[in-house]
């Protein structure tokens, strides 16, 4: 299974915030970092997280470890039959270990609503 993780300073981050994206190949207890690339979301103005999620789907990711996810990203991953796991910000290696040990539960919905910018 290919697992995608948005990462900042070695910690799991949100799809629109992570500095890089790591793609891991996970087979049983074996974990291999297949690719790490700059997060395309960081250069976008809107729906930033979607850019990261799409880039990982295009690379064959079927599971996503994220610190948060909004409704558009959640819908995109569900439409692509991907698994979504939301974890507290923690070192990536720890999150992958929890995934392998079966200690993470799949997200049943987004962690927050659509982003709206309010000016007061």
Determine the structural domain holding residue 36 and report its residue range: 2-100
Rounded distance, CA 115 to CA 24, Å?
Answer: 29
Does the structure show a pLDDT above 80 at 114? no
In a domain, 112, yes or no: no
Q: Quick: pLDDT tens for 6-34.
A: 999 999 999 999 999 999 999 999 999 99
State the pairing for strand pair 30-38/11-12.
unpaired
Mean pLDDT, rounded, for 58-75? 97
In a domain, 105, yes or no: no
The predicted pLDDT at position 15 comes to 97
Q: Are 71 and 110 in contact (CB under 8 A)?
A: yes
Count Cβ atoms below 10 Å from residue 5 Cβ, excluding itself. 29
Is the Cα dihedral 6, 49, 72, 69 positive or negative? positive
The predicted pLDDT at position 115 comes to 58
Q: What is the CATH number of the domain that holds 50?
A: 3.30.420.130
pTM of the predicted model, to two decimals?
0.92
Phi, psi angles (nearest 5°) of residue 64: -130, 130
User: How many domains does the structure of the chain reveal?
Assistant: 1
Name every residue whose Cβ is closer than 8 Å to that of residue 18 and which is 6 or more positions away in sequence. Answer: 5, 6, 7, 8, 12, 39, 41, 52
């Amino acid at each position: 299974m290919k697992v995608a993780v948005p990462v900042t300073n070695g910690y799991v981050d949100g799809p629109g915030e992570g500095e890089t994206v790591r793609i891991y190949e996970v087979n049983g207890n074996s974990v291999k970092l297949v690719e790490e690339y700059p997060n395309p979301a960081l250069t976008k103005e809107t729906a930033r997280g979607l850019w990261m999620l799409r880039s990982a789907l295009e690379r064959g990711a079927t599971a996503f470890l994220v610190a948060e996810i909004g409704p558009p990203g959640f819908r995109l991953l569900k439409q692509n039959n991907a698994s979504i796991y939301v974890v507290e910000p923690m070192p990536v290696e720890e999150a992958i270990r929890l995934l392998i040990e079966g200690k993470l539960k799949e997200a049943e919905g987004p962690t927050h609503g659509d982003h709206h910018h309010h000016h007061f």
